[in-house]
Amino acid sequence: MSMPLLMQMVKLHLKNFLSFGFGSAFYVVLMTSLYPLFADNTEAINQLIKILPDNLKNVLGFDSLNSYGGFISAEYFGLLFPIILGVFSVMTATQLLAHLVDRGSMAYLLSTKVSRSQIAFTQALVLIIGLLLIVLLTFLGGIIAGEIIIDEQYSLNFNAFFQINFVGFLLFFVVGGYSFLVSSLCNDEKKSLGIAGALTFIFYGLDMVGKISLDFEWVRNITPFSLYSPSEIASGDAEIFIPSLILFVIGIFTYSAAIVVFKHRNLPL
The pLDDT tens digits for 58-102 are 555 555 555 677 778 777 888 788 889 999 999 999 988 888 777
Q: Phi and psi for 111 in degrees, rounded to 5?
A: -80, -10
With CA atoms as reference, report the closest residue to 251 among 128, 138, 91: 128
Cβ atoms of residues 113 and 4 within 8 Å: no
pLDDT class of 264 with cuts at 50, 70, 90: confident
Q: Where are the domains of the chain?
A: 3-264
pLDDT of residue 90: 92
**Between 253 and 102, whose confidence is greater?**
253
Cβ atoms of residues 40 and 68 within 8 Å: no
The pLDDT tens digits for 10-69 are 888 899 899 999 999 998 888 888 777 666 555 555 555 555 555 545 555 555 555 677
pLDDT of 140 higher than 70? yes
pLDDT of residue 187: 81
From residue 46, give the alpha-carbon distance in Å to each of 39, 66, 70, 71, 246: 10, 8, 12, 11, 34
pLDDT of 217 higher than 80? no
| Mean of all residue pLDDT scores within the chain | 81
pLDDT of 115 higher than 90? no
pLDDT of residue 128: 94
pLDDT of residue 117: 83
pLDDT of residue 39: 60
Cβ atoms of residues 106 and 27 within 8 Å: no
Concatenating the DSSP letter of every residue in 43-60 gives HHHHHHHHTS-HHHHHHH
**Averaged pLDDT, 196-212:** 84
State how far the Cα of 131 lies from the Cα of 165, in Å rounded to an integer: 11
Cβ atoms of residues 187 and 101 within 8 Å: yes
**pLDDT > 70: percent of the chain:** 83
CB contact set of 151 (below 8 Å; sequence gap of 6+): 36, 39
State how far the Cα of 155 lies from the Cα of 134, in Å rounded to an integer: 23
pLDDT of residue 166: 93
pLDDT of 204 higher than 80? yes
Cβ atoms of residues 33 and 70 within 8 Å: no
**Averaged pLDDT, 142-162:** 76
